[in-house]
Amino acid sequence: MNRTVLDLWVGFFVAIGIAALLFLALKVGNLSSGHLSETYVLQAKFDNIGGLKVRGPVKSAGVVVGRIADIRFDPATYEAVVTMTLDGRYRFPKDTFASIYTAGLLGEQYVGFDVGGDEKMLQAGDTIAKTQSAVVLEKLISQFLFSKAADGQDKK
Amino acid sequence: MANPVDLIRRLGHASVERIWRLGFAARFFWAVLMHSGSAFRRMPLTLREIYFSGVLSLLIILVSGLFVGLVLGLQGYETLQRYGSTEALGILVALSLTRELGPVVAGLLFASRAGSSVTAEIGLMKATEQLKAMDMMAVNPIARVVAPRFWGGVISMPLLAALFSAMGVIGGWLIGVVFIGVDDGAFWSQMQAGVDWRYDVWNGVIKSFVFGVAVSLIAVFEGYDSVPTAEGVSRAITRTVVTSALAILALDFVLTSFMFRGAS
């Protein structure tokens, strides 16, 4: 085969191969949006994280503002320590409330920030003081049953 | 009937033969790597092999990718609609393609389309004593014949797998969005939210690279090691396809267990 034709075909092949990779990275994957140039780290301690997973989203007002980087168990306090990487563009007040919510009935769990009114902002590496654990369905049901049982006893 | 001692001796012979062949394959791999410099110094040789194993495999890869995507779209929609979550079709199609189906199916197709022809070519060169003739002319056949074919396959394979996945995603989009009518925005945004560039796409690329090395090595080795007769070459081609398929599936399991350890 002619050398120039061969070069043309191989060049075409490599070009569309790289185009497919770029398509996968930019259009299918989250290279365009997911990797933030500037991030900072916050920590939060929860009594119970439910089904929270590493790489799960951190949302404020429903907008994704960061990702969960790490989940550890603290053997001293028996709490879960959740480390989050947050978008450097967003700062949150010192009295921000971190709660664990569930998206939809069967959906994934995420950390939601309910912003307070403090003048001071959280700095990189800070720990969020106010947290609310995940709602565990069994606990909710047992609470409900106990309160029902208590009601029944009062009536007698 | 063979007596027990004979049986054990035959078992031992078979084992030793296998291990000897494995050792030979490892040393052959080392020799190919050692002579790879010439494959890159004489680029036209490698380019020619990229043309034969990569460009000529384009059609089968693109068409298969499209059809796999179409089927994933139909089947995924069929199952997801029971749970009322058809917007998740995009993430389903994209994750299954980039993580598993892209590298594995493209690898299997590549082994049968390009690997077998490489084996046949080298096997026939050996049967017609071209390799010996090269040796006589002080041209190292590993540097001149084997290394360019090996690197041609290694370079082509990740590109083909990426094309396969991309075509599959387009196929899933065609079925889901164009024909069935899943919301276009939800399809892409769920996909982008769920597919991580490094974790999903890049691990798929690493997989396809490893498969490329495995398939190319098996193809050139079987050709080089074939019995130089018509029957021997045909057996070598069969072995290439079978061994490559097994190697791809086994390596896929090993790689998956290292890459995706339930972190998400």
Q: Which of A5, A6, A8, A10 to mutate to test the interface with B (most CBs of B within 10 A)?
A: A10
Of A17, A20, A34, the CB nearest to B197: A34
The answer to whether A28 contacts B55, with C-beta atoms less than 8 Å apart, is no
The answer to whether B199 contacts A55, with C-beta atoms less than 8 Å apart, is yes
CA nearest to B202 within chain A: A25
The residue with greater pLDDT, B213 or A60, is B213
- Contact assessment for residue B201 and residue A28, using Cβ atoms and an 8 Å cutoff: yes
B155 CA: distance to closest CA in chain A (Å): 9
Q: Which of A5, A8, A13 to mutate to test the interface with B (most CBs of B within 10 A)?
A: A13
A122 CA: distance to closest CA in chain B (Å): 27
| Residue B153 confidence (pLDDT) | 94
CA A106 – CA A100 distance, rounded (Å): 14
| pLDDT-wise least confident of B16-25, B175-184, B202-211 | B175-184
The answer to whether A18 contacts B58, with C-beta atoms less than 8 Å apart, is no
**Which pTM does this prediction carry?**
0.77
B192 CA: distance to closest CA in chain A (Å): 5
CA A126 – CA A15 distance, rounded (Å): 47
ipTM (interface pTM): 0.80
- Contact assessment for residue B109 and residue B5, using Cβ atoms and an 8 Å cutoff: no
pLDDT in single tens digits along all 156 residues of chain A: 678 888 888 899 999 999 998 888 888 776 655 555 678 888 888 888 887 877 778 888 888 888 888 889 989 988 889 998 888 888 888 888 888 888 766 667 888 888 888 888 888 888 887 888 877 778 888 888 888 888 877 765
